[in-house]
């Protein structure tokens, strides 16, 4: 089996972080990019995303499979069946400290829904930097509970220099 034929690491990392959260008494949250393939209560979707509590106490019949995450949960007191394709998961993290992982966004987020632009990169973007659907890089989320203070003192951190192209992660609650 070559690297091109191997399965995605995403479902394995989701299961590992879920287990880490539960072993440490933390609440695992799943951030999901919603489209027609995701079965969640649409009234709780905000800006095309939903955050789901997948703890033992919040779910029943939880199955963290290689292709889908399935469980039953109550939303506003009503029982619902939830079905999330693993490829739509954009992060898993602990509610209490924000530690977890973010995953590359689904193809539709990269292309605005047009899959043909992934197949033919835009001329302004170098081919080496263009994201691909099979790109399984993982980014670690780190909580920012310090409130802007340095580790050693009470002085606030200076704001990041504007004009730099430094990427940043948004903490999803």
What's the pLDDT band for 2 if we cut at 50, 70, 90? low
CATH architecture entry for 10-141 = Roll (2.30)
Domain spans of the chain?
A: 10-141
Residue with the larger pLDDT of the pair 61 and 140: 61
Distances in whole angstroms, Cα of residue 8 to Cα of each of 3, 76, 86, 136: 10, 34, 10, 7
| Range 109-129 average pLDDT | 39
Q: pLDDT tens, 128-138?
A: 333 344 444 55
Beta carbons within 8 Å of 114's beta carbon, 6+ residues apart? none
Q: pLDDT tens, 80-105?
A: 999 999 999 999 999 999 999 999 98
- Average per-residue pLDDT for the chain: 76
pLDDT at 56 over 60: yes
Give the residue among 29, 56, 51 at the shortest CA–CA distance from 40: 51
């Amino acid at each position: 089996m070559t690297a091109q034929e191997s399965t995605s690491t995403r479902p394995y990392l989701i299961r590992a972080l879920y287990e880490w959260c539960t072993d440490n008494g933390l609440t695992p949250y799943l951030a999901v990019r919603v489209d027609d393939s995701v079965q969640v209560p649409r009234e709780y979707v905000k800006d095309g995303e939903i955050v789901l509590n997948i703890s033992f106490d919040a779910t029943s019949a939880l199955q963290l499979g290689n292709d889908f995450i399935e469980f039953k949960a109550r939303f506003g007191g009503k029982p619902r069946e939830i079905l999330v394709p693993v490829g739509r998961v954009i992060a898993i993290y602990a509610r209490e400290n924000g530690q977890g992982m973010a995953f590359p966004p689904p193809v539709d987020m990269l292309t605005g829904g047009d899959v043909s632009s992934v197949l033919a990169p835009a001329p302004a973007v170098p081919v080496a930097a263009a994201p691909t659907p099979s790109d399984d890089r993982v980014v670690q989320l780190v909580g920012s509970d310090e409130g802007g203070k340095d580790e050693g003192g009470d002085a606030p951190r200076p704001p990041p220099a504007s004009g730099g192209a430094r990427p940043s992660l948004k903490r999803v609650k």
